[in-house]
A and B are shown apart, each in its own frame.
Chain A
Amino acid sequence: MEVAQETLTTPAPTTAVEVSGSVALLEALIVEGVDTIFGYPGGAIMPIYDALFDYNDKLNHILVRHEQGGIHAGQGYARTSGKVGVVFATSGPGATNLVTGLADAQIDSTPVVCITGQVFAHLLGTDAFQETDVINITTPVTKWNYQVTDANEIPEVIAKAFYIAKSGRPGPVLIDITKNAQIQKFNFQGYTKCNHIRSYRPKPIVRTQYVQEAAALINQAKKPFIIWGQGVILGSAEQEFKAFVEKSGIPAAWTVLGAGAIPTEHPLNVGMLGMHGNYGPNVLTNECDVLIAIGMRFDDRVTGRLDKYAKQAKVVHLDIDPAEIDKNVKSTVPVWGDCKETLPMLTKLIEEKKHTEWLNTFNEYTRKEIEAVIHDELNPTTPEMTMGEVIKQLNEITKGEAIIVTDVGQHQMVACRYARFNKTRSNVTSGGLGTMGFALPAAIGAKFGAQDRTVVAIIGDGGFQMTLQELGTIMQTGIDVKIIILNNRFLGMVRQWQELFNERRYSFVDIQSPDFVAVAAAYRIAGKMIDDRKDLPAALNEMLSTKGSFLLEVMVTKENNVFPMVPQGCSVAEIRLK
């Protein structure tokens, strides 16, 4: 490894240098602007880790406690920074531990590049020690994957990996590198980023005809309704989106992953869609005349029963992925393209309007929802605390400036419903896959991706126990992550379904937990448990003002339910308030 690194890193050398595949990989990462890697070493990736030893000053490698934690951290990093998350893992069990995170990143369109070590090429297919067929295992859960068996391929393959992961509709890419290729010396000609692959068109060409047709529909609409998703954030189109919403005067609601693209308090932001979304947005989906879907994919948790979804409406669908058009909901006008380009074109063609009366209809539903659900959730009179009041208190202190990372379950839905988001890239959660155990590692990554922001992870007592070993990563890196465990002593969301749909037959949802504060203390992380409402503001303040990480366990009501709710198999209009 006696290469003079100064001559290697950008700008690329004009003359070829003989380096190992491992060094070429790390050089490639530097040119791609990578500053942080989440990983875990092992036999088949040792040459890369050996090379990494000399790159400590340029690449910050975070040693996680489990490869699933590594990839979730990479996802959290990508979601808050807008950059590609990078993850290293060894072959066999290291690689298979990535699978949940890959599936999560695939369904939530998160750009990550995973590098896995693999046994020597000559051992492939021999059931060698720690050999698994990682390429075939990960094919359904990656946007692209590739096995490198010769070091000469590394520069081009890594360039493709980054290009594919971040362009178009982003997604996870896995590159499996056999050990011989990591060791092999070759003539490294420098690294050039990829900007074109002939078989891959990341963005469909915008057709002005569709934009015009969409504008015409919008201009004649009496009750138009905008629903947006993460596409707005992934396309960095928040400004363009805001301009569109404001000029059109159309009420707009968000999917869980779209939250924060425009501030929660924006007057045209009418709330959350879907199973536990707000009352008005769900009911009025089935009353609008033109439904304008932007960067969202009509997930079943958003649409409820499809054959009763927005049947009365003309649908304008803006999406970068042509496969999403007409996949679940038929569009009247498909606006293929990157919404950063299509939104301004549309904004130009639409008339400036105010839909006051229609907006009031939404506000009327909000009033009903406050009365039936929100008021009691946020200002409970029960002796025990509710999840909602914790979020409300948190809002009052963070003023909507924090990044909120949530796990999966009731606390997730409550946090998404009530957390205030002033800024984009503030809501990090596992949407499409609903992966319990996501939040703690994702929060670590989220903080590495946005170091100047406060990161608060909100986690259930069940989900926390799925990846709590990542407290070790916090301990070792000293990263500052605030953790709130909303402890209802139940696998709450499953319990809620059992209560509502299985006659309260509580089958294996009663979960016991360790003393979480003591667990945190064992990792030298400060913590506190509260079970009295009067301690809540002080405890939250203490958590947020403590330097470094802090774990706050809040005991909440055991058998609270998240409402409103669109029961599975029901139409959005059949949303229940209780």
Chain B
Amino acid sequence: MSNQDTEKQEFNITVYTENQIGLLTRIAIIFSRRKINIESLNTSPSEIDKIHRFNIVITESEEVVHKLVRQIEKQVEVLKAYYHTNADVIWQELALYKVSTDVIAEKVSVERLLRENGARVVVLRKDYTVFETTGHREETDNLISILQPFGLIEFVRSARVAIIKDSDGFNRKLREFERLEPGEEVIENEYLNQGEKVFTM
């Protein structure tokens, strides 16, 4: 077993599901039962009408993520689950920052702040201003530390959304699922090490 399989890192789990009440619980308890913390969870529509997409972020070893994904895929209303490292996805998080307009106008070069942090102003009022940034964790974190000295009133960051680099979407797969006897491609086995023709982990 290589280090890569047992060392913890962030993984992005993407789950395509039917839109069914209760499914969120079914998926969430797969993690909580094993005392694994979900760091970020987003549910949204997918590229296909009526099919939902979960983006889940956890920090775990690949070995554990493997097993979790199998358990997720086993749920009746789950069509397919994938996992990827951060390098395999394009991902974004959105953050909002509320600060006092007086303070910020007086002490900060707002123009520079916006430019250097890729931020924009969402709301500008006499009493407060709301900035927004989108990006990776470090980027959104960075603006917190910049604004903190000026009395950050409120901060919130969204769950992560991620697009898989090496994916041609779910349309073709779905057609397979709708067939009574799906073709082999829906059962792709990402665990087979083709080189050695044996299972490795």
Contact = CB atoms under 8 A, between A and B. Distances in A.
Interface of A: 135-136, 139-140, 143-147, 164, 195-201, 204-205, 207, 213, 321-323, 325-327, 330-334, 336
29 contacts: A136-B25, A139-B22, A140-B29, A143-B76, A164-B76, A195-B180, A196-B180, A198-B177, A199-B17, A199-B18, A199-B76, A199-B78, A200-B76, A200-B77, A201-B187, A205-B182, A207-B189, A213-B197, A322-B70, A322-B73, A322-B74, A323-B67, A323-B71, A326-B199, A326-B201, A327-B70, A331-B199, A332-B199, A336-B189
A190 to B, nearest CB: 21
B165 interface: no
A144 B198 contact: no
Interface in B1-60: 17-18, 21-22, 25-26, 29, 33
B199 A334 contact: yes
B22 A330 contact: no
B184 interface: yes
B136 to A, nearest CB: 32
Contacts of B166: none
B198 A199 contact: no
Give the 9 A-B residue pairs with the shortest CB-CB distance, closest first: A323-B70, A198-B177, A199-B79, A144-B76, A200-B76, A205-B187, A323-B74, A198-B178, A199-B77
A230 B187 CA distance: 24
Interface string B172-200: 00100110101010110101000001110
A145 B22 CA distance: 9
A205 B177 CA distance: 12
A326 B71 CA distance: 12
B66 interface: yes
A331 B78 CA distance: 25
Nearest to B185: A205
B78 A204 contact: no
Of the four ranges (under 10, 10 to 19, 20 to 34, 35 or more), the interface on chain B belongs to 20 to 34
A332 B198 contact: yes
A340 B180 CA distance: 19
A322 B191 CA distance: 11
Contacts of B197: 213
Contacts, number: 71
B199 A135 contact: no
Given A205-B187, A323-B67, A334-B199, 4 more contacts: A139-B26, A140-B33, A198-B178, A326-B66
Contacts of B180: 195-196
Interface in B70-96: 70-71, 73-74, 76-79
A197 B17 CA distance: 12
Nearest to B186: A201
Contacts of B18: 199
Given A139-B29, A198-B177, A333-B199, A323 B73 contact: yes
B12 to A, nearest CB: 20
A207 B186 CA distance: 12
Residue from the set A136, A195, A196 with the largest chain B CB neighbour count within 10 Å = A196
A140 B26 CA distance: 7
B118 to A, nearest CB: 39
Given A136-B25, A332-B199, A334-B199, A326 B76 contact: no
A140 B22 CA distance: 11
Contact of A321 (B74, B77, B187): B74
Nearest to A317: B199
Contacts of A136: 22, 25
A355 to B, nearest CB: 24
B103 to A, nearest CB: 44
A232 B187 CA distance: 23
Contacts of A205: 182, 184, 187
Contacts of B186: 201
Nearest to B80: A199
A333 B26 contact: no
A322 B190 CA distance: 12
B59 to A, nearest CB: 21
Given A322-B73, A326-B201, A199 B177 contact: yes
Contacts of A213: 197
B70 A197 contact: no
Contacts of A321: 74
Contacts of B182: 201, 205
A3 B94 CA distance: 59
A468 to B, nearest CB: 33
Interface in B109-167: none
Contacts of A197: 76
A164 B77 CA distance: 11
A330 B201 CA distance: 8
A199 B201 CA distance: 27
A139 B25 contact: yes
Residue from the set B21, B74, B184 with the largest chain A CB neighbour count within 10 Å = B74
B51 to A, nearest CB: 9
Residue from the set B18, B71, B187, B191 with the largest chain A CB neighbour count within 10 Å = B187
A330 B199 contact: yes
B195 to A, nearest CB: 14
Nearest to B25: A139
